[in-house]
Amino acid sequence: MRRTEWVTPARGLWIPVPPEYRGWGGPPALEFIADMMRFLEVDYYVGWLSAAAMYGAAHQVPQVTQIATARRVRARKVGGVRLELYQRNGLSGLPTRTHTARTGPVRIATPELTVLDLTRNVLYGAGLDVVATAIVELTHDPGLDMTALTGLALRFPVAAVRRAGWILDTLAGVDDLEQLRALSDKQGGRPSRLSPQAPDCGSLDQRWRIRINREIEVEV
């Protein structure tokens, strides 16, 4: 058996490498993720910047494939592909779409789930500038269902909801945000920080109850 002809994403699982990918060290992640997660018996979806890239909305293409998992699975390198796997509490029932890869269907976070995951886990999105850029681009194509986003926001921390609302309102110019803003108001509490990594300072946006504690540079 030649090493370039097979990769092993998990002990005991061997995936054949099509000839066109042997010079890359292995197939793209989407060619084996579903098989790997089925073998490991773990629920999953491709998320964060990797999902945004699937929708054409990652200005900076991620160097790793980011996967949400229902239980802890270690990060790994499969051929030339790096996988970052993050345990995601409450994964069951979160909305996904099916991407049909050559080897079968792969679960991808919906655009709405991608937005809220990115504003909840800003560091997974390589920082606030990259997160904001991806969200702005997600509003263009395929676009966002604001009713679906508002319903999904009930499952997220208020800081993530306010961050998403502020970016969609201020940077993306989305109009249909009254339900999302009402949800933000209803949750009350202290104002949230726009950047969770920056100090709690700066002006307060009363509309979204969010502290503008740093400037954002969007590259579109």
Pick left, alpha or beta for residue 173 (phi over 0 → left; psi -120 to 50 → alpha; otherwise beta).
left
- pLDDT tens digits, residue range 56-86? 886 666 679 999 999 999 999 998 899 999 9
Residue 173 corresponds to which tokens in the numbers above?
């110019």
CA distance 73 to 83: 10
Quote the pTM value: 0.93
Q: Is the pLDDT of residue 209 over 80?
A: yes
Rounded to a whole number of angstroms, the CA Rg of the chain reads 19
Strands 6-10 and 13-16 come out as antiparallel
CATH class name, domain 18-212: alpha beta
Residue 17 corresponds to which tokens in the numbers above?
């490498």
- pLDDT tens digits, residue range 93-148? 999 999 988 878 999 999 999 999 999 999 998 899 999 999 999 998 768 999 99
- pLDDT tens digits, residue range 142-189? 689 999 999 999 999 999 999 999 999 999 999 889 999 999 888 878
Are the C-beta atoms of 42 and 70 separated by less than 8 Å?
yes
Boundaries of every domain in the chain = 18-212
